[in-house]
Amino acid sequence: MTLALVLAAVLAVAAVAFVARPFLHEPAPRSDRLDELGEADRRRLELVEDRDRALAALKELEFDHRTGKVTDEDYRAQVGPLRRRAAEALKALEPRAEARHERITRAG
Amino acid sequence: MAALGRAALLLSFALVVYAVVAGGYAAWRKRRRLALSAQNALLAAFGTTLVAAIVLWSALARRDFSFVYVSEHISRALPTGYALSAFWGGQEGSLLLWLLILTGYSALAVFLNRRARDLVPWVVPVLGGVAVFFSFMLCFVSSPFATQAAPADGAGMQPSLQNPYMLAHPPMLYLGYVGLTIPFAFAMGALLSGRTDERWIVLTRRWTLAAWTFLGVGQLLGAHWAYVEIGWGGYYAWDPVENAAFMPWLAATAFLHSVMIQEKRGMLKVWNMVLVALAFCLSIFGTFLTRSGVINSIHSFSQSPLGGWFLGFIVIATVFSVGLIYLRLPLLKARTKLESLVSREATFLYNNLLLVAFCLTILWGVVYPLLTQALRGETRSVSKPYYNFFLHSFGLPLLLLMGIGPLVAWRRASLRSLGRMFVLPFVAAVVTGGVLLALGYGSSTPGLLAYTFSAFVAVSIVLEFVKGSRAAGSIFRLVSRNRRRYGGYLVHAAVLLFAIGVAGSSAYQTVRERGLQPGQSLQVAGYTLTYERLDSTQASNHTAIRSTIDVSRGGSHVTTLHPGKNTYPVEQTTSNEVSIYHDPRNIGDLFLIADQIDKNGTLYLKALVKPLVNLIWVAGFLFVFGALVAMWPDAVEQRRLAERYAPGAAVA
């Protein structure tokens, strides 16, 4: 019983020390604020996801065309809009476009 | 040492309460060090729960009957392997296993994703909340560390649990059940933080797949255990507790498919949140069914005080998730629309509707007897015909969709391209159906349809690999460039083998039974079974009676089988010990059950011939292989995602 209680006490002290570690390790940090996404970052992430989706869709279309799932006619009808979407997503991600968007957001 | 176990569990409880309170406050007020401290509390909770688990395991290994749990579940004569497996053989131990896996998974998920600093702080309180419930139950409602004056021997273990499959089946199921908490916690964390982009999906993709795989393998192991151990000749009885594991698996299957639509098209965000919450709530519901004793099943433990607590927790989890999804609806708007009802994404949608409908009909079958009992005091049961009706109604279209989906292009498919892609699978299906009808297999319409659809699916999967390999240059390049898709097709192939095995062994099985005196024979599906004699042997914890049956076919000896019974004096029970011959000719089994053995030596023998049944177990290996291929990290994709979510790129 005594051994069990000693072991339990050791376990408790170790757990408390581990939980308190961030405060013991950094008693006076320069910043204690959690990272969070700003509006511009959120917008950028949306654009990156759009870009990735558009590029993946193009890749899928090419592959489906090569494997015969998409006929030549369907391919021609779909590839244009998908390329445009991908180009728009890439363009929107250009630094200048991003800065412009940020300015518009701030002004609006 | 029980005191150490109790103290360790109390520490776990305190740590996870801290993770919820401090973690929630830190995420809300954006306190970095407090959030890290809450994460550490989750990590530490794993350590303290592990200590509690070691205490229980050690008590089981030492046969320390001063622990009530140990004396109720094992005896001195029980082999050590089974004694250790008693950890999950009882209610309190199972709850401890839940908490151990949950805190282990939580610690790992938090540690691996610690760089997602804007999402993980919100995930910690959700994970902690689930852990609070289980640790509370273990500390204050159902403790495995209750002690007593040690009796000379324990009550022993139920004989049906003394089987090697029981060493793996429950932990596998638990790894699956508990694993579904991780995607749930990240989904709820995403809703709480307002970060409803794809990151939570990216971070939990492998967790979901792993949990789903464990749940699938756990069920297959359970089915095999039932097949070889329970001694009734089947592997799935639509038992409520079996259904309890099947339902979250169906919901997770729907989620794994629909989440691809969100990743590829930015659609179904609300639906995915609903599915991930449904899978989690069903996993808790499954635990409730097993632990509460509300259902009379070979799997559930006796009546216990846990039912009300579990129901309360399920209600809280459901209200919390539905409320949160409702509050965040504006953030979950789809960015695109379904372009055509004839497209890959549309087939995914149909697959989802069928899976969820199947899941809900099973849920109704499980809940209906409980409701009639609670509301009207009537005892009702929902039996096999109900479930089989829905298995045929939803399972067969799902099987067919598994073949149609891969042949349809994303966004929209024209009739011309569909005609071109469908011609070979369609011909294969028609030929298969025709040949089976001609051979006289039309006796079972669901069986015939299952084989016809299976031919369609098999050819469509083969075509996918052949055409894809040609387009990519080689099969290796094809698979390595898109592991998720082709791993998924391998899993489809496993489901196909499984369906063929189930259809063959259920729709086309032969059953014969009769009483035999030594020297008499029974004819079944071409086999002659001759009863020769009875023998009795004494094992460490049971007496075994075995018959000797000579099996011959066309006058030639095939094998000798020994169905019989075991009598366990400590547990005061008798078990059927079946004997099986695996027939390579039809990938099936000759399955013998000694239904009754009279004192005068009369043996009531039941013989089942189950064609193709072994495909079910082979499917398990292919299922795991396919899941591993799908889970295997893709370096190119990892780099792309790392760039997408790098702190400098999107996160300030």
Q: How far lies B235's CA from each of B105, B399, B420, B616, in Å?
A: 30, 20, 40, 10
Name the pLDDT band for A108 (thresholds 50, 70, 90). Answer: very low
DSSP per position, B62-79: TT-TTBHHHHHH--TTS-
Name the pLDDT band for B293 (thresholds 50, 70, 90). Answer: low
Within B377-414, residue ranges assigned H as helices are 384-390, 396-404
Q: Is the pLDDT of residue B84 over 70?
A: yes
The CA R_g of chain B, rounded to the nearest whole Å, is 27
Q: Is the pLDDT of residue B465 over 60?
A: yes
Q: Look at residue B304 in the predicted model and tell me its pLDDT.
A: 66
Q: Is the pLDDT of residue B313 over 80?
A: yes
Name the pLDDT band for B648 (thresholds 50, 70, 90). Answer: low
- With beta carbons less than 8 A apart as the criterion, state whether B181 and B108 touch: no
List chain B domain ranges: 1-157, 510-610
> Mutate which of B198, B261, B417, B467 to disrupt the A interface (most A C-beta within 10 Å)?
B417
Q: Is the pLDDT of residue B652 over 70?
A: no
Helices then strands, each counted (H, E), chain B? 21, 10
Q: Does the model's ipTM exceed the 0.90 cut?
A: no
Pick from A85-99, B178-192, B326-340, B528-542: least confident: A85-99
Q: Is the pLDDT of residue B461 over 80?
A: yes
Question: A2 to chain B, minimum CA–CA distance in Å?
Answer: 9
How far is B238 from B235, CA to CA, in rounded Å?
10
Instruction: Centre a 10 Å sphere on the Cβ of residue A36 and count the other Cβ atoms it contains.
Output: 18
Q: Is the pLDDT of residue B301 over 60?
A: no
Average pLDDT of span B460-487? 92
The token pair that represents B216 in the structure block: 């699938």
Q: What angle, rounded to 10 degrees, do the helices at B91-112 and B120-136 form?
A: 170
Q: Convert the pLDDT of each residue in B274-292 to its tens digit.
A: 999 999 999 999 888 877 7
Instruction: Centre a 10 Å sphere on the Cβ of residue B323 and count the other Cβ atoms it contains.
Output: 11
Q: Name the strand (E) or helix (H) holding B82.
A: helix B80-85
Q: Look at residue B156 in the predicted model and tell me its pLDDT.
A: 86
Question: B68 to chain A, minimum CA–CA distance in Å?
Answer: 17
Residues 6+ apart with CB under 8 A from B113: B119, B120, B123, B203
% of chain B with per-residue pLDDT over 70: 97
Q: Which amino acid is at B491?
A: V
- How many Cβ pairs within 8 Å bridge chains A and B? 155
pTM score of the predicted model: 0.91
Residue A12 contacts B where some CB pair is shorter than 8 Å: yes
Most confident region among A83-87, B286-290, B318-322, B596-600 by mean pLDDT:
B318-322
DSSP per position, B171-209: HHHHHHHHHTHHHHHHHHHHHHHT--STHHHHHHHHHHH
How far is B216 from B116, CA to CA, in rounded Å?
30
Q: Which amino acid is at B507?
A: A
Q: Is the pLDDT of residue B296 over 80?
A: no
Q: Convert the pLDDT of each residue in A55-107 to its tens digit.
A: 989 999 999 999 888 989 889 988 998 899 888 888 888 765 555 555 555 55
Q: Which of residues 47-76 of A touch B (CB under 8 A)?
A: 48-50, 52-53, 56-57, 60-61, 63-64, 66-71, 73-74
Q: Which residues on B lie below 8 Å from A57 (Cβ)?
A: 264, 410-411
How far is B222 from B175, CA to CA, in rounded Å?
14
Q: Which residue has the higher pLDDT, B232 or B147?
A: B147
Q: Which amino acid is at B9?
A: L
Q: Look at residue B295 in the predicted model and tell me its pLDDT.
A: 67
What residues does A78 pair with on adjacent strands?
none
How far is B270 from A41, CA to CA, in rounded Å?
23
Average pLDDT of span B126-147? 96
Q: Is the pLDDT of residue B354 over 90?
A: yes
Q: Look at residue B650 in the predicted model and tell me its pLDDT.
A: 44
Q: Look at residue B336 in the predicted model and tell me its pLDDT.
A: 81
Name the pLDDT band for B636 (thresholds 50, 70, 90). Answer: confident
Q: What is the DSSP letter of B617?
A: H
Most confident region among A94-98, B442-446, B531-535 by mean pLDDT:
B531-535
Name the pLDDT band for B416 (thresholds 50, 70, 90). Answer: confident
Residue B293: phi, psi to the nearest 5? 80, 10
Q: Look at residue A103 in the predicted model and tell me its pLDDT.
A: 55
